[in-house]
Amino acid sequence: MTEPRIVVVGSANTDMVVKAPRIPAPGETVLGGRFVMAAGGKGANQAVAAARLGCRVTLVARLGRDMFGQQTRENLEREGIDTACLAWDEQEASGIALIIVSADGENAIAVAPGANATLSTMDVERAEPAIAQASVVLMQLEVPLEAVRCAIELARKHGVRTILNPAPAAPVPADLLRAVDLVTPNEHEAALLTGVKPHGETGAETVARALLSQGAQAVAMTLGKRGSLLATAEGVQMVPAFRVQPVDTTGAGDAFNGALAARWALGVPLPEAARYANATAALATTVMGAQPSMPTAAQVERFLSQT
């Protein structure tokens, strides 16, 4: 079977993670425990997730000309990701994320985007040959919207399917929603996009239908411990979650998106792809760190065979 090709346009960060008993309240200091520094950033996370699941992945991102940027490039290459479309910024530092993870696996994150905020349409245009050969182009919102729009336009030009993960939560113009093939918000992001706050399964369905009414062609909404919800013009269906004991939920959404893109690139129907993505995300919560937690295809298949 030919390896599916995926182009990811997005961010690359270095994550600095502290495990703590709980997320501190404003003004509070909490004595933490284990510290982990790992590669992160939604774009790079999703690229690594797809690569470990057997895809040929190109990452379009911008790095600072510093120690963190060099380490990021080396890490991506170790994962087998094509780094030819990485751009270097001579003024801005590489992106950094400060993350606190509570005892129950929840997290609080602050990001200094650095060079991610300077990813330009020119950077994306240089990746057009890779986009033209891709099966899926996957994007998020940790880079400028102009770069995302450019990636969508180039993908449409070459008949390549697109996935927009609207994270972190931010407004998305209606014409952009209409232009992508699949939108993958979590509940908070979906609420911001629609102005409708979901409450339970029924509420999530209402929000998903609202996204469709705004022009989204298809929606795959992540619902945490409840799994995910798919909505298309043909209908809405829940895709159940897998039960695990979470250690760190950082990167679980990125695992879901990378896996969904990987299966969709193979031509797998969305419901089946979403079930696979749910399993991948569940496994990702059982390991500390974002990219270190991304499972391999063999690990996901073994997990699915045991459930």
Taking 80 as the threshold, does the pLDDT of residue 234 lie above it?
Answer: yes
The single residue of 15, 89, 123, 254 carrying the catalytic annotation is 254
- Starting at the earlier edge strand, list the strands of the sheet with 107-112: 35-40, 13-19, 95-101, 107-112
Cβ neighbours of residue 168 closer than 8 Å, sequence gap 6 or more: 111, 141, 142, 189
Q: Is 286 helix (H, G, I), strand (E, B) or coil?
A: coil
| 162-181 confidence digits (pLDDT tens) | 999 999 989 999 999 999 99
Cβ neighbours of residue 97 closer than 8 Å, sequence gap 6 or more: 13, 14, 15, 16, 40, 41, 109, 110, 111, 112
Cβ neighbours of residue 275 closer than 8 Å, sequence gap 6 or more: 239
| 236-253 confidence digits (pLDDT tens) | 999 999 999 998 888 999
Query: Among this protein's residues, is 175 annotated catalytic?
Result: no
When pLDDT is cut at 50, 70 and 90, the band that residue 201 belongs to is: low
Looking up residue 160, the CATH number of its domain turns out to be 3.40.1190.20
Asked if the structure places residue 217 within a domain, the reply is yes
**What percent of the chain has a predicted confidence (pLDDT) above 70?**
98
| 30-60 confidence digits (pLDDT tens) | 988 888 888 999 999 999 999 999 999 999 9
Taking 90 as the threshold, does the pLDDT of residue 1 lie above it?
Answer: no
Residues of 105-142 as b/e, b for ≥16 C-beta within 10 angstroms?
bebebebebbbbebbbbebbeebbebbeebbbbbbbbb
136 phi and psi, to 5 degrees? -145, 140
Taking 70 as the threshold, does the pLDDT of residue 159 lie above it?
Answer: yes
pLDDT at 200: 62
Q: Are 235 and 216 in contact (CB under 8 A)?
A: no
Asked if the structure places residue 99 within a domain, the reply is no
Entry pTM: 0.92
Taking 60 as the threshold, does the pLDDT of residue 269 lie above it?
Answer: yes
Asked if the structure places residue 110 within a domain, the reply is no
The total domain count for the chain is 1
**What percent of the chain has a predicted confidence (pLDDT) above 90?**
80
Most confidently modeled range among 187-191, 192-196, 254-258: 254-258
Asked if the structure places residue 33 within a domain, the reply is no
Segments forming the whole domain that contains residue 180: 5-11+41-94+116-305
132 phi and psi, to 5 degrees? -60, -25
Q: Are 114 and 32 in contact (CB under 8 A)?
A: no
Asked if the structure places residue 109 within a domain, the reply is no
Asked if the structure places residue 122 within a domain, the reply is yes
Torsion of CA 148, 45, 7, 92, to 10 degrees: 50
pLDDT at 231: 96
- HSE of 129, CA atoms in CB hemisphere, 13 A: 4
Alpha carbons 67 and 69: distance in angstroms, whole number: 5
Asked if the structure places residue 193 within a domain, the reply is yes
Asked if the structure places residue 273 within a domain, the reply is yes
Q: Look up residue 214 and give its DSSP letter.
A: T
**Mean pLDDT, residues 291-295 taken together:** 93
